[in-house]
Structure 1
Amino acid sequence: MVLSGLDWRSSRPWTVVGVAVVCLVAGVLTFTRDSRPAHADPTALPHTTVEVSASRCGRGWSAPVSGVQVFDLHNPTDGAAGVLLEDPGSQAVYGEVEDIGPGTTRELTVRLGKGAYAFKCVPDDADAVTGPTVRIAKGSSGPAAAPVTEHDLIPPALAYQKWVGNGLSDVVRLTTALRAAVDRGDLAAARTAWLPAHLEYERLGAAYDAFGDADGAINGTDAGLPGGVHDKDFTGFHRIEYGLWHGESAAGLRRPAAALLKAVTALRDEWAQARMDPAQLGLRAHEILENTVQFELTGRTDHGSGSSLATARANLDGTVEVMSRLHPLLATRYPDLPALESELKRAGTVLDRFRHGGAWTPLAKLGHRQREDVDAVLGDLVERLASVAALCDPRRTV
């Protein structure tokens, strides 16, 4: 899919920058790009200025108190640094701020209670340094989670990459059937073959960045192209979709169908040498459905087939697959994991109501209440999966 002439899957940075704290939402650890919990007014909370530097990491926290509070993290050095507030024994993280620039101060808002705490300063160009341990005698802390390292993410990433390879083989097989139908001039069969091939590709959502330019050729839209749907650079599944549902002849579709099959075959053959970045796996679990809400549920990617809800279901399947790989890491870090997995199943049930054999209800045919149900369940999942992205963001510990 294309946004402003760029593939939307690579138009956003795949990093969580400036992530800060931890806020208690339904008892789970939630990291957000904002540096404070929504319920906290930082002007009414106690503030403590803490130094972020290799020589004086954590200095300034000399009068510890329990409860929700703000740490003003000041970096007096000439290089950027990140900070973790952690349990010095277990290294469970209570809060984090990344990329504190030279000479700047950033806020970290946390709820602290009985326990031991220490700031860990992580300069960009030096080893991590742990500051002095501070103890609080009473009160209840907010949630914490053991940090995930890139090493932890390698096994699930390798398993997922192998699954993607199998999926690409299925994409090639199904696209071969699509091309054959076009070549013999059977447009009804081509319309029937188009959807399974496209959905099989859509299930591979967490791998799109690793596909590189191939994804634009395979699954790009006409967005940003000067000629729109008639532009010579409009290719792939959506180019064929447009032709199949807008009366184009089989002769006109033969070249796009051949090009699509060539592209997916090349991607399948090259995938064995590809290497996914393990650090992106958790973030992709969130981004798949975030983009589903932004593009599929707005109809921006529908070029005539009315299959947006089918694509949303395939995206959900892809998210479930990623989550199955991450489950062992999240089981001990994310208390709300059972509720999230239950919500994933519920979302599948909601979407499946609109499947009728091999056909799906178009978005425009949904009733008001039906549309609300779809938006609500997927919107809730996007919110929950933001915590997965944050928890699986690898952290330097040395």
Structure 2
Amino acid sequence: MPKIMRTALRSLPVLVLVTGVAACADDKSSSTSDSAAPGAAKVTINVTDDGCTPSPATATAGPINFEIKNTTATKVTEAELLRGDTIMGEKENLTPGLSGSFSLKLDAGKYTVYCPNAKTEKVDFTVSGSAAAGSADAAVGTALTDATTRYQQYVAAEVDKLIPATKTFTDAVRSNNLDAAKKAYAPARYFYEEVEPVAESFGDLDPDLDARIDDVDNPAEWTGFHRIEKGLWEDKSTKGLAPVATKLDQDVAKLKTLVATVKFQPAQLANGATELLNEVASSKITGEEDRYSHTDLSDFEANVTGAQEAFSLLQPALEKIDPTLSSTVRQQFASVLDSIKPFKRGDTYVDYTTVKEDQRKVLTQKVDALAEPLSQVAAKVTL
């Protein structure tokens, strides 16, 4: 996540101003299968190199479906809706000819459409009036409330595991034990990758923890897991990494403090689940994420496991709302996890460079088959 473009908060906003967020569909298609919330107003955002103006620029509080289109823009491939510094919804990787959408249930207030790298990056968007009350029955409402409570507990528990796992990793770095550090790298990252969308909501914390070299303006300021990864595998040395290791411990401790304050909406769980699937498709399957260690399949499993946990907590409510969709998503999660089992060796996975292109294609197809129905869940659980 480039710091120059990612100083705003990300996928799972801490604020509870949004009462529903629909997940993003697969960015590789020229259309979107995202489901709009029932009765949603329509706002079109045309992405251009000059800027991105919403049409209309005002809306009534309640469900709103934002349709993002890029016809010819080459410098701008992303549109976000901000309230203050908080990203309420976004669509990324929209190269010319691609389109996508996201749905939100917004309260009255001032918002901003933000298109990084455009000539005019920010344009005002205004919501007025009051949103109508949700129509979910009492049993559904109770199930969704329980899901958000239990997800907060899950996130806190995984961060509690992340802290000692990271210290095992950083202690090895500080003691110049190259082999031990390499062995501890993927297990520590696993807990982080399970809950990464939550970490992304805290401004620069995710880049500090997880930025890749091409995501930073000044390589001398590069920190986090991947900075150490490069030292261990490419430079084959822990020289100069002790301060980076100590900062990593500090940033993980900061994450623990922050997650204790997070409050979730039901649709945000579904949005976060799809964000994790997008992580798999955009950086794990391509081999971009762990380009030095090639431990991508461990991250792959962690992303899918984290997404599955969010979905499973929503499942009791979704069974009442749309049992067919619930069953489809559940089956596709099982299919994706089954697809990586042949590459597992004990507690680890094979070096990702040994996974052939045809095998990667199968993994991509499995993820796509899950992402499509999963992208429909957020609108279903919007109250």
Scaled to the shorter chain, the TM-score interval is 0.5 to 0.7
- The gaps in structure 1 that reach 5 residues or longer are 20-29, 36-49, 53-75, 85-95, 100-122, 130-144
Aligned residue identity for 1:371: R
Match of 1:382 among 363, 371, 382: 371
2 CA distance for matches of 1:176 and 1:8? 28
2 CA distance for matches of 1:180 and 1:17? 41
Q: What is aligned with 1:203? A: 194
Tell me the CA shift for residue 249 of structure 1.
Answer: 2.7
Match of 1:225 among 182, 192, 216: 216
* SS of match in other structure, 1:347: helix
CA contact (8 A) 2:210 2:226 kept: yes
1:216 aligns with 2:207: yes
User: How do 1:132-143 residues align onto structure 2 when only pairs under 5 Å count?
Assistant: none
Q: What is aligned with 2:174? A: 183
User: How do 1:277-296 residues align onto structure 2 when only pairs under 5 Å count?
Assistant: 277-296=265-284
Tell me the CA shift for residue 303 of structure 1.
Answer: 3.4
2 CA distance for matches of 1:284 and 1:148? 23
1 CA distance for matches of 2:204 and 2:336? 31
In the superposition, the TM-score normalised over structure 1's length comes to 0.64
CA contact (8 A) 2:279 2:303 kept: no
Q: What is aligned with 1:239? A: 227
Change over 3 Å in CA distance of 1:272–1:152 after alignment to 2:
same
Q: Flag the structure with more relative contact order, 1 or 2, with Cα contacts below 8 A and sequence separation at least 6.
A: 2
Tell me the CA shift for residue 293 of structure 1.
Answer: 0.4
Change over 3 Å in CA distance of 1:147–1:265 after alignment to 2:
same
1:80 aligns with 2:80: no
CA contact (8 A) 1:286 1:388 kept: no
2 CA distance for matches of 1:9 and 1:97? 16
Tell me the CA shift for residue 291 of structure 1.
Answer: 2.5
* SS of match in other structure, 1:298: coil
* SS of match in other structure, 2:206: helix
Aligned residue identity for 1:214: L
Q: What is aligned with 2:237? A: 249
Work out which of the two has the higher radius of gyration on C-alpha atoms and give 1 or 2: 1
Change over 3 Å in CA distance of 1:83–1:171 after alignment to 2:
closer
Q: How many residues were matched structurally? A: 294
* SS of match in other structure, 2:382: coil
Q: In the TM superposition, what whole-angstrom CA distance separates every residue of 1:203-242 from its partner, at most 9, and x where no partner exists?
A: 1134234444322211222234234xxx122111111111
Tell me the CA shift for residue 32 of structure 1.
Answer: 3.3
Aligned residue identity for 1:80: T
Tell me the CA shift for residue 147 of structure 1.
Answer: 11
Change over 3 Å in CA distance of 1:362–1:392 after alignment to 2:
farther
1:350 aligns with 2:330: no
Tell me the CA shift for residue 368 of structure 1.
Answer: 3.4
Aligned residue identity for 2:212: T
1 CA distance for matches of 2:370 and 2:176? 42
1 CA distance for matches of 2:149 and 2:294? 35
Tell me the CA shift for residue 311 of structure 1.
Answer: 0.8
Q: What is aligned with 2:291? A: 303
Q: What is aligned with 1:155? A: 146
Aligned residue identity for 1:385: L
Tell me the CA shift for residue 378 of structure 1.
Answer: 0.6
* SS of match in other structure, 1:332: helix
Q: In the TM superposition, what whole-angstrom CA distance separates every residue of 1:116-169 from its partner, at most 9, and x where no partner exists?
A: xxxxxxx9404649xxxxxxxxxxxxxxx9799987633211211111111111
Tell me the CA shift for residue 366 of structure 1.
Answer: 1.9
Cα RMSD for the two superposed structures? 3.8
Match of 1:337 among 311, 323, 326: 326
1:259 aligns with 2:247: yes
The alignment-based identity, stated in percent, is 26
Q: What is aligned with 1:125? A: 129
Tell me the CA shift for residue 34 of structure 1.
Answer: 12
Tell me the CA shift for residue 248 of structure 1.
Answer: 4.6
2 CA distance for matches of 1:200 and 1:320? 14
Change over 3 Å in CA distance of 1:383–1:146 after alignment to 2:
farther
Runs of 4+ in 1 over 6 A off after TM superposition: 11-15, 96-99, 145-151
